[in-house]
Amino acid sequence: MKTTVNLPDELLREARELARREGTTLQELIETGLRGVVRQHSAEAPFVLDDASVGGNGLRAEFRARGGSS
């Protein structure tokens, strides 16, 4: 699949030079980098908020009388 991305000139120069030194193509270098980022994000455990619920009967009467969430 073809796509177009805009990269800072200096980053593109550095990436091309790295690809040349590594004996690979810019396309392969970009693909490897993207795969690494995607893999890292998919491996991270999702954030789970601890259940801090308490027993009881809801809001106290003086707070219920106020209405809303103020």
Give residue-wise pLDDT tens across range 15-65.
Answer: 999 999 999 999 999 999 999 999 988 877 778 888 888 888 777 888 877
What pLDDT sits at residue 38?
Answer: 92
What pLDDT sits at residue 68?
Answer: 59
The token pair that represents 34 in the structure block: 């993207």
What pLDDT sits at residue 52?
Answer: 81
What pLDDT sits at residue 69?
Answer: 57
The single residue listed with the structure tokens 């693909």 is 31
Distance, in Å, from the CA atom of 39 to the CA atom of 52, rounded to the nearest integer, reads: 32
